[in-house]
Amino acid sequence: MKGILLIRGGAIGDFICTLPIAAELKRALPETPLALVAYDRVLPLARASGLFSESRSIESRGFAGFFADRGELDPEWMEFIGGFGVVLSMLYDPDRILEANLKRCEVRDVHSLDPRPDGSRHACEHLASILQRIGIFPERVAPAFRLEGKTSSFDVAVHLGSGSEKKNWSLDNWRDVLGFLAAHDLRVAALAGEADQERVDALSSALAAPGTTLFRNRPLLEVGQVLQGVRVFVGHDSGITHLAAALGAPALALFGPTDPAVWGPLGARARVLRGNKIWTRGEGPSAESAISVDENSPELVKAQLTQILGIE
Say if residue 117 is in the same domain as residue 217. Answer: no
Q: Is 214 helix (H, G, I), strand (E, B) or coil?
A: strand
Q: What is the pLDDT of residues 260-283, one digit of tens each?
A: 999 999 999 999 999 999 998 766
For the chain, the domain total comes to 2
> What does residue 86 show for φ and ψ, rounded to 5 degrees?
-140, 135
Domain range spanning residue 40? 3-134
- Rounded-to-integer distance, Cα 63 and Cα 66, Å: 6
Radius of gyration of the chain (CA): 20
**Structural domain ending residue among the three candidates 101, 134, 167:** 134
User: Buried b vs exposed e over 26-56: b needs ≥16 C-beta within 10 Å?
Assistant: eeebeebbbbbbbbebbbebbebbebbeebb
Q: For residue 91, which of 56, 127, 122, 60 has the smallest C-alpha distance?
A: 127
Which pLDDT score is estimated for 285? 57
Look at residue 49 and tell me whether its pLDDT is greater than 60.
yes
Q: Which residues of the chain form beta strands (DSSP E)?
A: 3-8, 34-38, 54-57, 84-90, 109-112, 156-159, 188-192, 212-216, 232-236, 251-255, 270-274, 277-279
Asked, for residue 247, whether it belongs to a domain, the answer is yes
Q: Is 290 helix (H, G, I), strand (E, B) or coil?
A: coil
Q: For residue 45, which of 181, 162, 145, 155 has the smallest C-alpha distance?
A: 145
Q: Residue 140 — very low, low, confident or very high, per pLDDT cuts 50/70/90?
A: confident
Asked, for residue 142, whether it belongs to a domain, the answer is no
CATH number of the domain encompassing residue 106: 3.40.50.2000
- Rounded-to-integer distance, Cα 304 and Cα 252, Å: 8
Q: Which residues contact 93 (CB under 8 A, 6 or more apart)?
A: 99, 112, 114
**Structural domain ending residue among the three candidates 104, 134, 164:** 134
Asked, for residue 150, whether it belongs to a domain, the answer is no
Q: What is the pLDDT of residues 104-127, one digit of tens each?
A: 999 999 999 999 999 899 999 999
**Structural domain ending residue among the three candidates 80, 104, 134:** 134
Question: What is the pTM (predicted TM-score) of this model?
Answer: 0.95
Q: Around 311, how many Cα atoms within 13 Å sit in the side-chain half-sphere?
A: 19
Could you tell me what percent of the chain has a pLDDT over 70?
97
Look at residue 244 and tell me whether its pLDDT is greater than 70.
yes
Q: Which residues contact 70 (CB under 8 A, 6 or more apart)?
A: 100
Asked, for residue 147, whether it belongs to a domain, the answer is no
Look at residue 234 and tell me whether its pLDDT is greater than 90.
yes
Say if residue 265 is in the same domain as residue 175. Answer: yes
Asked, for residue 104, whether it belongs to a domain, the answer is yes
Q: What is the pLDDT of residues 184-206, one digit of tens each?
A: 999 999 999 999 999 999 999 99
Which pLDDT score is estimated for 290? 79
Look at residue 139 and tell me whether its pLDDT is greater than 90.
no
Which pLDDT score is estimated for 1? 63
Say if residue 238 is in the same domain as residue 101. Answer: no
